[in-house]
Amino acid sequence: MATALDHATLQGMPELVKAFEEIANAPNTRKYETRLMKPARKLRNSIRAAAPDGPAKQGPPGRVPNPAKTIKNSIIAKKFKKKRKDHPAVMVAVHYRIAPHSYLVEYGTAGRRHPKKGEYVWFRRESDGELIRKKSVAPMPANPFFRKTFDNNKSSIIREMKVETLNFIDEAAAEASKKTLK
């Protein structure tokens, strides 16, 4: 017994294939990156909230440290500048020029001694600015603010990226269908 579905035909298949090809070859990766920056900024803000309040980056002796150059302010979200055209990408990272010591805070340090004669480690005391010299450095425990926050927010960030990607595809399909209908 034949049903209505046995003899169904699909119309518009070549146009649909053409529309999907146009979406895949669309040169508007900047629009897609802009959409992906939304979840990246959310991740950046949550990592900044978890980052420790540390002292500003110390410059050369005699220079006043810049209070804006802290670990919290070094967390950035940005688009990659150099990449292939068909691979849009965004990143959340620590800007190494603002906080070059952030990996020491993230992973901690072991105690160190400088046994050679005449070798010292110099520190500037925060309270009065006095220079202190020591022959050894105490260990610093790890404070995993970046990785811990990333792991805690990974599923929600991926979900938001999927939503942004689907919205981008829907908009690109709508634009392609408008071009096809003209």
At 12-38, the pLDDT tens digits run 677 777 766 666 665 567 788 888 899
More confident residue, 136 or 85: 136
Nearest CA among 111, 99, 108 for reference residue 143: 108
Q: Which residues contact 99 (CB under 8 A, 6 or more apart)?
A: 57, 69, 70, 71, 73, 74
Domain that holds residue 124: 112-138
Report residue 147's pLDDT band, with 50, 70 and 90 as the boundaries.
Answer: very high
Domain match, 56 and 132 both = no
In a domain, 120, yes or no: yes
CA gap 86, 33 in Å, rounded: 11
Report the Cα–Cα distance between both ends of the chain, in Å, rounded: 42
Nearest CA among 121, 51, 120, 66 for reference residue 98: 66
Q: How many domains would you assign to the chain? A: 2
pLDDT, one tens digit per residue, over 79-104 is 887 666 667 788 999 988 888 888 88
